[in-house]
Amino acid sequence: MTSTDIKPNGFLLPNGCRITHGSGATIKTPFSTIPLTMHELYPGGTLPYPSTQRGQLGFIPFDHKLRLPRHVHVTMAERDEDRRLLAERILVTGGVGLVELNGRVYVIPHGTLVDIPEGVPHTWTACPPGVALPDGTETTGRFLMVYDYAEPTSFFPIQGTTTLKSMADYIRYDGPLEAICFPELTPERVRDEASFVWNDHLEGAGADRG
């Protein structure tokens, strides 16, 4: 992929500023059976306007019914031998998320930044409504994910939960994606099984395993 393959988003002002909003973003629906809508504010690459990055930046509205398949991220090279595992950075805002990292579930409150290294299998959903956080507030079943990748990437589905050391370790999952989606958890199961992220530590029943 080259910079000429990527169409700039938004519109350009005479002073060189670029603004991206609504339908001006790249809207992606990568799965046919999972209602995921990605609003990509910055599509990646070296585009013909000033930017602080060359990767992808965007957001995804989540509710607890949207459960992603487990995956890793890989660079979008044209040749398989040139592909590399890619890290990602996720900001959780406007609610509370659930992330599975290496098979462990973590409750991620509003205002949390999650850095996921290369090759860590993961998946996301919103925390179901009615789960009490350590400060007493309760979850609403929704959150907004802001995602940031250093390079353009896509989902690579995976069944296992062990961290991959390189692309040589990756075995593509070709079965039904529903089988590797985040499990549908009740508030009771979240309280009994998950680790709650809070300030600089973990709390809850799963904290010792986190």
Distance CA 187, CA 168 (A): 38
What is the per-residue pLDDT for 167?
95
Compute CA distances 77 → 43, 80, 90, 111, 155, whole Å.
15, 7, 23, 33, 14
Q: What are the counts of helices (DSSP H) followed by strands (DSSP E) for the chain? A: 1, 16
- Cβ atoms of 124 and 113 within 8 Å: the answer is no
Confidence of residue 5 (pLDDT cuts 50, 70, 90): low
Taking the C-alpha atoms of residue 52 and residue 73, their distance in angstroms, rounded to an integer, is 21
Instruction: Output the pLDDT for position 3.
Output: 46
103-123 tens-digit pLDDT: 999 999 999 999 999 999 999
Is residue 100's pLDDT more than 70? Answer: yes
* pLDDT reading at 151 higher than 90: no
Which position has the higher pLDDT, 32 or 99? 99
143 phi, psi to nearest 5 deg: -165, 170
**Domain-wise residue ranges, the chain:** 12-209
The residue-averaged pLDDT of 23-43 equals 88
Taking CB atoms within 8 Å and a gap of at least 24, the contacts of 169-176 are 169/119, 170/72, 170/74, 170/85, 173/69, 173/70
Percent of the chain with pLDDT over 90: 64
Beta-bridge mates of residue 148: 57, 89
Query: In the CATH scheme, what architecture does the domain 12-209 have?
Result: Sandwich (2.60)
